[in-house]
Amino acid sequence: MSWYPSDDSLPRPLAPTSYRSAPTSSTLGRMPLSLATAFPVPVEAEVVNRSDFLHVMLRAALGANYLAPITKPSYMLDIGCGSGRWVREMAGEFPGARVVGLDTTAPDEGNPSASGVFAVSNARPRSYAFVQHNALEPLAFAPNSFDLTHMRQMTRDLPVAAWPRVVGEMARVTAFGGWVELAEGDLVHNGGPALEAMQRWALQAWQQHGLDPRVSSKLGDLLHKLSLTDIRMRTVELPIGPHGGRFGELMGADMMARIEGMRAQIIAARIASPEAFAQAQSAIRHEMQRGEYVQPFYIVCGRR
């Protein structure tokens, strides 16, 4: 299967850039699964809304909100900002920076209980700006505008064929010497027959809309194709189920909620019968109790 269109359809770089192979430092690459059970459980993971849950758990596993070696960014952009949680946290870490969140729907400013941008002070941070925009359309920013352009958890929203164009736009608005960063989760690994069946059904449903989470493992290749340099990649395997302690139990509850959320779509598309779906759902609970499910997340960044 080809994950990306041919090279001829990729966005052209705005200016010649040098190419260097990815660093081979021990700080990059895969986190051993043996470390997974030592992941701390963030306090807010118990109460955060589901749209922010994986952000909180990934931050705990990665130990930071970003991989790019930024120090004093002046302007940052978050594509598909959702509640704005990443934006708020980055604005707090870099109070001198202007952080822009972009999404099709604005964060809920009027909801004091929201877990996003306005949860702490119930007021818009002075360094924060929101732009309502569909990421599938060209970005309404000038070239060379941002020191860090960031996007995560978008494989369920962006068709596979759109990734080169969207990330090409991210590179266009990133300043020379600035960074483009992506963080995406793959399918769950180490599953038994029940999980494999459920994920096969989910893939059939997603692919009807051109979506496929397996594109996450190819994002480093995409940054290479877009002529970004100094590519850095880290793989974090988030444990799902009792083998991951309280962290894994929370991940397991979230996974089961996401499976339940797919029920209507899979059954309506006649990919699986209601009986087959319920049987697989029940079997997954048993598999998770005695297995070692993990969800890989690929965090990759490249310099423009």
Which domain does 135 fall in, by range?
17-187+214-244+297-303
The pLDDT value recorded for residue 125 is: 53
pLDDT exceeds cutoff 80 at 282: yes
82 φψ region: left (φ > 0), alpha (ψ -120 to 50), beta (else): left
- Does residue 270 lie within any of the structural domains? no
Phi/psi for 149 (5° steps) reads: -115, 120
Q: Tell me, what CATH number does 148's domain have? A: 3.40.50.150
Position 175 in a domain: yes
Report the number of distinct structural domains present in the chain.
1
Which residue from 297, 267, 296 is spatially nearest to 281, judged by alpha carbons?
267
Residue 192 is assigned to a structural domain of this protein = no
Average pLDDT rounded to a whole number, residues 160-186: 98
Residue 109 lies in a domain: yes
Nearest to 2 by CA among 221, 199, 189, 196: 221
For residue range 117-151, list pLDDT tens digits in order: 434 444 455 688 899 999 999 999 999 999 999 99
Residue 285 lies in a domain: no
Residue 286 lies in a domain: no
DSSP labels, 161-214: GGHHHHHHHHHHTEEEEEEEEEEEE---BS--HHHHHHHHHHHHHHHTTT--GG
pTM of the model: 0.82
101 in a domain, yes or no? yes
Q: What is the pLDDT of residue 22?
A: 33
Asked whether residue 277 is assigned to any structural domain, the reply reads no
Say if residue 113's pLDDT is above 60.
no
Q: Reply yes or no on whether the pLDDT at 212 is more than 80.
A: yes
